[in-house]
Amino acid sequence: MNDVGALTIRELREAISARRLSAVEATRYYLDRIDAKQAALAAYTFVDHESALAQARAVDAKAARGDALGALAGVPLSIKDIIDVEAVPTTACSRSSLGTVPARDAEVVARLRAGDAIVIGKANCHEFAFGGPSFDLPFPPARNPWNPEYFPGGSSSGSGVAIAAGLCLASIGTDTAGSIRSPSAHCGVVGLKPGSGSISRRGVRPLSVTMDYVGPMARNARDCRTVYDCIAQRTGPSRTAGAGGNPAAGDFSGIRLGLATVSWALESRLHPETGAAYDRLGMLVEAGGGTIRQVRLPSLELIHAAASVAMMAEVAANHAGAVRARYGDYGTVFRTRTLAGESIGFDDYLAALSLREELHDAVLGLFDTVGFIALPVSMNPPGKLTAVDRFYFLGEPNINILANFLDLPAITLPCGLSGTGLPIGMQILGPRGSEAALFDIAEGLEQHIAFDLTPCRAARPETARMMPG
């Protein structure tokens, strides 16, 4: 089989199960691509060639015996470098953790192994998943494969880069304020930030204890769903937006999708290309038979302020003591951001948590009118890597933080290209427990958007098609 890189997760597993392709051949294909692209893209902090091939040989042995194979048999995945993989360094991209080698897998990694996945290496990220890009860490920042001069999003930056560049089929990232959704949007892949209790955080370095989530990223919605089904602790029927329709097939006749009203002030902040993609997303759902309604979300500034207070206080509680004790072992961006959180008083933290309940109730009420809410991922298309302001999250409201603060699942998918040839992504939020329905909608939208990211054809702008309209 010559075109290994064109295979989806399901196709790769079927080829290995039928012994038309060996897991070793597939793993070597991805290892060779990593060897060729790593220097330019810095997608990984560690590539475990020997262990990856050993895992692949074990999968091939199962296939030869006729044993049942797991849902991810022979599928090469990367793991964000704040998640433990047994006997592999968990550096969190920090000098403070370079010698840390865990003795056991994180729960999410153990579930991947039970599904016969190939853990191929550790994906680059921002230091302890907070802040960046940084240029004073043990590893250089990951670079966007669409144009290496541009920011790939963060903090799960290496995960998005590795998938988009064809250096793995999927990755496990984390999301505290958009850290799965931002790189998914900037790199043109699909990422899910699930709800609480869905995926275990055991063996994952904490950042903000009430806002951290673990989730899958992949080339398309179906692949992302397959990974999610393997690692999720919570399964069962998903909440939907009404009867009728077949969202996964592009029939949205049962879908009621909310778009933010003008009063949310997105229009004055959105880049015109991002705004156009947002409008077209609603048009595609409407064209598929869905209903579009304007919804009045609570103030974006209020959500951002309360969520930032909670997050910064929790980051400081987790990390400020260690930063003060070993100041020189941390990068400038991380230590500056972390110590800034010490200025938040306990009363302010409690006030933020109290406001969280009020805001959640207000948004929950919107789901009585609509089943889902669509939002941009970023105000602007990806910018230059060296131009990212280290304190941008204080100056510009973060749309993504809403889902973390209010514990709502959200899926991100590519919705076109900017004028500079970089992907633009949108996200769809649902009520708690709606992950399966979000995957259905994303699969249906993909058929209309027709965003082509097959890395073996070349992950370059001219090979992708923009949204119609």
Give yes or no for residue 2 having a pLDDT over 80.
no
Torsion, Cα 167 42 399 207, to 10 degrees, reads 100
Q: What's the CA gap between 144 and 162, in Å, rounded? A: 9
Q: What residues are paired with 213 via a beta bridge?
A: 175
Which entry of 155, 157, 198, 418 is annotated as an active-site residue? 155
Find all residues with CB under 8 Å of 169, minimum gap 6, and list them. Answer: 8, 9, 12, 30, 75, 76, 77, 163, 218, 219, 223
Mean pLDDT (the chain) is: 92
Return the percentage of the chain with pLDDT > 70, whole number: 91
Q: Write out the two tokens for 35.
A: 């060897």
Q: What's the CA gap between 178 and 130, in Å, rounded? A: 11
Quick one: which H or E segment has residue 294? strand 291-295
Give yes or no for residue 218 having a pLDDT over 50.
yes
- Amino acid 197 reads G
Catalytic residue list contains 80:
yes
Residue 322, CB-side half-sphere exposure with 13 Å CA sphere: 16
Q: What is the pLDDT of residue 451?
A: 76
Give yes or no for residue 384 having a pLDDT over 60.
yes
Tens-digit pLDDT profile for residues 59-89: 999 999 999 999 999 999 999 999 999 999 9
Q: What is the pLDDT of residue 456?
A: 36
Which entry of 78, 96, 179, 208 is annotated as an active-site residue? 179
Q: Write out the two tokens for 466.
A: 């923009």
CA-closest candidate to residue 216, choices 156, 157, 170: 170
pLDDT band at 448 (very low <50, low <70, confident <90, very high): confident
Full-model pTM: 0.95
* 194: region left, alpha or beta (phi > 0 left; psi from -120 to 50 alpha): beta
User: What is the Cα 399 distance to its own chain's centre?
Assistant: 15
Q: What is the mean pLDDT of residues 199-220?
A: 97
CA-closest candidate to residue 418, choices 304, 275, 245: 275
- The three-point CA angle 446-231-29 to 5° equals 65
Q: What is the mean pLDDT of residues 144-172?
A: 96
Flag the least confident range among 173-177, 376-380, 381-385, 454-458.
454-458
Q: Which domains does the chain have, with CATH numbers?
A: 4-235+251-463 (3.90.1300.10)
Q: What's the CA gap between 59 and 91, in Å, rounded? A: 28
Cβ–Cβ under 8 Å, residues 171 and 77: yes
pLDDT band at 452 (very low <50, low <70, confident <90, very high): low
Find all residues with CB under 8 Å of 418, minimum gap 6, and list them. Answer: 273, 381, 382, 424
CA-closest candidate to residue 142, choices 178, 186, 107, 177: 186
Q: Write out the two tokens for 68.
A: 């049942």
Q: What is the pLDDT of residue 430?
A: 97
Catalytic residue list contains 179:
yes
Which entry of 22, 37, 78, 80 is annotated as an active-site residue? 80
CA-closest candidate to residue 312, choices 287, 281, 346: 346
Tens-digit pLDDT profile for residues 219-250: 999 999 999 999 998 655 444 544 568 999 99
Give yes or no for residue 468 having a pLDDT over 80.
no
Q: CB neighbours (10 Å) of residue 273?
A: 17
Helices (H), 141-180: 157-164
Torsion, Cα 187 193 198 201, to 10 degrees, reads 70
Q: Please, what sign has the CA dihedral across residues 52, 56, 61, 66?
A: positive
Q: What's the CA gap between 212 and 224, in Å, rounded? A: 19
Q: Please, what sign has the CA dihedral across residues 392, 393, 395, 398?
A: positive
Q: Please, what sign has the CA dihedral across residues 177, 150, 119, 191?
A: positive
